[in-house]
C-alpha cells in the first residue's frame, strides 16, 4: 500500500501544492513551522478521513480559504485509486474514490491504513496506563471490528455503573440493578481481555525482535499484560475470563460501594514493559523508553502486515532528533518493506540512505535537491 502522489490546496498552509513520493522511505525536512507535520497529517487523513490533531475540518482549511482539498493517487490491494477529500467551512465534507462520492469515511479506511508515531508517543512507556490502553485500543480496533463493539459496550456499561456507585447513597434503589450491570460488564469485559491478550502476545514477539535490533543486541524488551488480578491466564477461553471477572467483582463489591467508584474490570488494564528484566517505566533511560515506544509502533505495523497482507503506511513525525546516531540510522535504513514518511529538521546524512528527500519551506517544495518531483496535477472530482 502506498501513496504515489498528493495535491493539496487550501489545506493548512498549503496552496496549489503537489508532490510525488517513493514507495520506500520519504524524508520530509525543513525548519520549524514550514508544514512538515501538516503534510503528514494530510497523508494520515487519507485513512478514515480523520486527523490525529484537529478537532474538526475547519482547523484543516487554510486560514484565508473556504475550501480545502486533498487529492491523492494511491495504490492498494494491487489497484490504483484516486482519493479526494473536499473540506468546507460552511458545509459537510465530500469524499470521493475514483470520482465516486462516498457515503461514509469508513470506505476510505478500507483502502488506506496508516500507523502514526508523533512526539507525544515517545512518552508512551513513561506515561500513565490510560495512554497505553489507548494505544492498544486504537490498534486492535483497526484490526478487529468486533473488539471495537465490545469495547464501546463495555465503556457504556462502565459509565452507568460509575453513576450508580456515585449516587447510591442518595438513591439506594439504584443498587437493585447493580448486579445486572456487573453481569453484562463481565461478559463484554471478557471479550475485551481476550482480544487484548492475543494482541499483546503477538506484539511482544515483534517488539522484542525490533528492540534487540534497534539497540545492537543490548536490550531485551519484554511486554506483559496486567489485567484483573483473579485472571491467571488472559489467553484462557472467554468463559474462564468471565468467571475471573465475576470473582473479582464479588471480592470488591464492598470496596466499590465504599469508594463509590468502579474498581473491577479491564478499564484498569495496563501494558507492562521491561528492559533487561527491569521495569522500563521506573528504570529505563529516556532514549531506551523512546526506542521501546517506537518498537511498539513498529511491531503494530508488522502485525497489520501479517493480518492484512499489506504494509500500512508508516508516519513518523519528528522522532529522529530524540535518538542517538545509531538509533537514527536504524530508523532510516532498517525499516524495510512498506512506505514510510519521516519528518525532521535536517536532511538525512550518510551514504546508506537511499530514500526520497523532500525539503519543505513555507508550504512549498524546495526544488533542485534530490527531492520529490512536482507531479502533474491529476484530474480532481467535479
Is residue 37 a contact residue for Mg ion (CB under 5 A)? yes
Stretch that binds Mg ion, among 30-38, 108-116, 179-187, 259-267 (CB under 5 A): 30-38
What's the CA angle centered on 122, arms 117 and 128, to 5 degrees? 115
Applying CB under 6 A, among 12, 196, 246, 252 the residue interacting with ligand ATP is 12
Are 303 and 223 in contact by the 8 Å Cβ rule? The answer is no
37/264 with CB nearer Mg ion: 37
C-alpha span between 219 and 217 (Å, rounded): 6
Identify what 69 binds: Mg ion, ligand ATP, none; CB under 5 to 8 Å per kind. Answer: none
Count of residues in contact with ligand ATP, rule CB under 6 A: 15
C-alpha span between 351 and 131 (Å, rounded): 38
Q: Which of residues 54-73 bind ligand ATP (CB under 6 A)?
A: 59, 61-63
Nearest-approach distance from CB 29 to Mg ion, in angstroms: 11
Stretch that binds ligand ATP, among 18-26, 31-39, 143-151, 260-268 (CB under 6 A): 31-39
Nearest-approach distance from CB 315 to Mg ion, in angstroms: 11
Q: Would you give the DSSP letter of residue 123?
A: G
38/211 with CB nearer ligand ATP: 38
Applying CB under 6 A, among 2, 9, 36, 228 the residue interacting with ligand ATP is 36
Identify what 34 binds: ligand ATP, Mg ion, none; CB under 5 to 8 Å per kind. Answer: ligand ATP
Is residue 100 a contact residue for ligand ATP (CB under 6 A)? no
Applying CB under 6 A, among 7, 26, 34, 73 the residue interacting with ligand ATP is 34
Identify what 224 binds: Mg ion, ligand ATP, none; CB under 5 to 8 Å per kind. Answer: none
Identify what 57 binds: Mg ion, ligand ATP, none; CB under 5 to 8 Å per kind. Answer: none
Cα→Cα distances 151→134, 141, 186, 194, 228, Å: 11, 9, 12, 11, 16
Is residue 26 a contact residue for ligand ATP (CB under 6 A)? no
Looking up cell 512506505, which residue turns up?
Answer: 339
Q: Which of residues 328-367 bind ligand ATP (CB under 6 A)?
A: none
C-alpha span between 355 and 199 (Å, rounded): 32
Q: How many CB atoms lie within 10 A of CB 16?
A: 11
Residue ranges in the chain assigned as alpha helix (H)? 36-45, 57-60, 106-109, 129-143, 145-167, 178-214, 238-259, 280-283, 286-308, 325-334
Cα→Cα distances 82→76, 195, 208, 378, Å: 11, 34, 38, 9
Q: Which of residues 226-285 bind ligand ATP (CB under 6 A)?
A: none
Cβ-based burial of 109 (10 A; exposed 0-12, middle 13-18, buried ≥19): middle
Are 74 and 5 in contact by the 8 Å Cβ rule? The answer is no
3/360 with CB nearer Mg ion: 360
Q: Which of residues 288-327 bind ligand ATP (CB under 6 A)?
A: 318
Which residues bind to Mg ion, rule: CB under 5 A?
Answer: 37
Which residues bind to ligand ATP, rule: CB under 6 A?
Answer: 12-13, 30, 32-38, 59, 61-63, 318
Amino acid at each position: 500500500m502506498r501513496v504515489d502522489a498528493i495535491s493539496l490546496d487550501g489545506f493548512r498552509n498549503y496552496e496549489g501544492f503537489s508532490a510525488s513520493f517513493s514507495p520506500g522511505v520519504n524524508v520530509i525536512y525543513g525548519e520549524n513551522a514550514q508544514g512538515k507535520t501538516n503534510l503528514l497529517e494530510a497523508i494520515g487523513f487519507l485513512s478514515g478521513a480523520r486527523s490525529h490533531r484537529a478537532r474538526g475540518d475547519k482547523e484543516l482549511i487554510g486560514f484565508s480559504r473556504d475550501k480545502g482539498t486533498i487529492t491523492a493517487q494511491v495504490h492498494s490491494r494491487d489497484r490504483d485509486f484516486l482519493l479526494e477529500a473536499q473540506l468546507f467551512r460552511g458545509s459537510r465534507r465530500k469524499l470521493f474514490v475514483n470520482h465516486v462520492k462516498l457515503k461514509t469515511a469508513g470506505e476510505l479506511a478500507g483502502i488506506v491504513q496508516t500507523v502514526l508515531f508523533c512526539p507525544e508517543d515517545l512518552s508512551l512507556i513513561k506515561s500513565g496506563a490510560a495512554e497505553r490502553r489507548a494505544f492498544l485500543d486504537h490498534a486492535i480496533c483497526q484490526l478487529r471490528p468486533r473488539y471495537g463493539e465490545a469495547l464501546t459496550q463495555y465503556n457504556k456499561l462502565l459509565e452507568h455503573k460509575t453513576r450508580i456507585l456515585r449516587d447510591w447513597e442518595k438513591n439506594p434503589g439504584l443498587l437493585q440493578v447493580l448486579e445486572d450491570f456487573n453481569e453484562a460488564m463481565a461478559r463484554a469485559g471478557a471479550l475485551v481481555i481476550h482480544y487484548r491478550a492475543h494482541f499483546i502476545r503477538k506484539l511482544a514477539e515483534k517488539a522484542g525482535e525490533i528492540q534487540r535490533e534497534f539497540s545492537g543486541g543490548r536490550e531485551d524488551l519484554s511486554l506483559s499484560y496486567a489485567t484483573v488480578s483473579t485472571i491467571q491466564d488472559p489467553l484462557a477461553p472467554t468463559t474462564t475470563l468471565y468467571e475471573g471477572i465475576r470473582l473479582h467483582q464479588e471480592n470488591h463489591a464492598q470496596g466499590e460501594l465504599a469508594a463509590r467508584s468502579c474498581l473491577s474490570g479491564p478499564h484498569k488494564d495496563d501494558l507492562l514493559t521491561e528492559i533487561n528484566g527491569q521495569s522500563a517505566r521506573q528504570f529505563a533511560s529516556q532514549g531506551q523508553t523512546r526506542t521501546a515506544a517506537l518498537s511498539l509502533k513498529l511491531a503494530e505495523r508488522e502485525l497489520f502486515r501479517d493480518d492484512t497482507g499489506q504494509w500500512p503506511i508508516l508516519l513518523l513525525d519528528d522522532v529522529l532528533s530524540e535518538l542517538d546516531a545509531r538509533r537514527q540510522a536504524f530508523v532510516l535504513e532498517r525499516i524495510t518493506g512498506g512506505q514510510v514518511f519521516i519528518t525532521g529538521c535536517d536532511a538525512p546524512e550518510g551514504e546508506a540512505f537511499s530514500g526520497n528527500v523532500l525539503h519543505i519551506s513555507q508550504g512549498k517544495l524546495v526544488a533542485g535537491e534530490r527531492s520529490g518531483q512536482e507531479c502533474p496535477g491529476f484530474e480532481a472530482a467535479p
